[in-house]
Amino acid sequence: MFLSTVPEKLRESADLHLPSPLSSSKALRMHWDVRNDNFHISVPQIDVNMPVTRRIIASESAKVFDILGLFSPSILPSKVMLQELWRLKLDWDQPVPDSLSLRWQQWASSLHLISSHAIPRHIRLSDVPYISRSLHGFSDASTTAYGAAVYLRTVHEDAKVTVALITSKARVAPLKAASIPRMELTAAYLLAKLISFVSFDLNIPISQIHAWTDSTIVLCWLKKTPNSLKTFVSHRVSAIDELIPQGFIQDFQFGGGEFSVKFSQKFIIWPKFY
């Protein structure tokens, strides 16, 4: 049911805070604007003037939680900094290097921008006639981190096209260094898992599924039989083939150049992967 179908006098006028399944309001930090039917994510106020230590970064980063994966690229820099601290093997209360402290302060001072973004609660638009619905997933990676995002694209009968971000995930790269092609394949595998989850969980007819990557090497691997590839690559190629449903347009496509730049600009506080 859409909010517009509910009479004004029957609508809740106050904003509601969604409770956590674990009865911990700090876990989800999800805020529902009932009047406008939008979601907001609340973030903690971080004192950027306090001494920056490994304990402070770990503690404050843990307070930022995005259950829907709508702001993954904005939260990722804190995870990257934590991994760097593990490499440095600093004590918990030992001050971090000046360069890392500056990055932390810049990230913490801009974190409040997330709260200003409103996410529409409804994405299905079930009361509007449509021609087709398709899922578009994007993956990208570097030696620092990798990520994936899934969008729902709807073409309506009036020729209007709407696109909604469903979910995304961003993860730091493993401590053991890997080549860029392998990282790109890992990102493609993450995307395949997201697409599989979304296509099942949305429970609406999907006419097409498109997966986009800017790695031509990954595209070549996906066209080969897994048995002809090395173990690392073979396992992930096999998993991708199993995860994306058969019968759909499930081929990975090249999405490099200007297109990928426009995609990355959809996110705020986009980390510098390269």
Q: Choose the final residue of a domain: 116, 137, 154.
A: 116
- Residue 139's closest CA among 226, 48, 221, 211? 211
Q: Has residue 178 been placed in a domain?
A: yes
CB 76 within 8 A of CB 147: yes
Q: What is the pLDDT of residue 66?
A: 83
Q: Which long-range contacts (CB under 8 A, 24 or more apart) does 201-207 make?
A: 202/124, 202/152, 202/166, 204/124, 204/133, 205/133, 206/133, 206/134, 206/135, 206/248, 207/132, 207/133, 207/134
Q: Has residue 10 been placed in a domain?
A: no
Same domain flag for 63 and 82:
yes
Q: What is the pLDDT of residue 208?
A: 84
pLDDT in tens, 73-110: 888 999 999 999 999 998 999 999 999 999 999 999 98
Same domain flag for 183 and 105:
no
pTM of the model: 0.78
CB 251 within 8 A of CB 209: no
Looking at the structure of the chain, the number of domains it has is 2
Q: Has residue 8 been placed in a domain?
A: no
Q: Choose the final residue of a domain: 116, 147, 163.
A: 116
pLDDT band at 254 (very low <50, low <70, confident <90, very high): low
Same domain flag for 54 and 131:
no
Residue range(s) defining the domain that contains residue 132: 123-264
pLDDT band at 233 (very low <50, low <70, confident <90, very high): very high
Return the minimum-mean-pLDDT range out of 8-12, 61-65, 198-202, 226-230.
8-12
Same domain flag for 178 and 193:
yes
State the CB neighbour count (10 A cutoff) for residue 51: 10
**Dihedral over Cα of 46, 51, 57, 58: its sign:** negative
Q: Has residue 4 been placed in a domain?
A: no
Same domain flag for 89 and 177:
no
Same domain flag for 152 and 218:
yes
Same domain flag for 102 and 206:
no
**193: pLDDT strictly greater than 90:** yes
Q: Has residue 11 been placed in a domain?
A: no
Q: Has residue 6 been placed in a domain?
A: no
Q: Has residue 87 been placed in a domain?
A: yes
Same domain flag for 92 and 193:
no
Same domain flag for 133 and 235:
yes
**274: pLDDT strictly greater than 70:** no
Q: Choose the final residue of a domain: 69, 96, 116.
A: 116
Q: What is the pLDDT of residue 95?
A: 93
Same domain flag for 132 and 159:
yes
Same domain flag for 99 and 143:
no
Q: Has residue 31 been placed in a domain?
A: yes
**264: pLDDT strictly greater than 50:** no
pLDDT band at 169 (very low <50, low <70, confident <90, very high): very high
| Domain CATH number, residue 246 | 3.30.420.10
Same domain flag for 83 and 174:
no
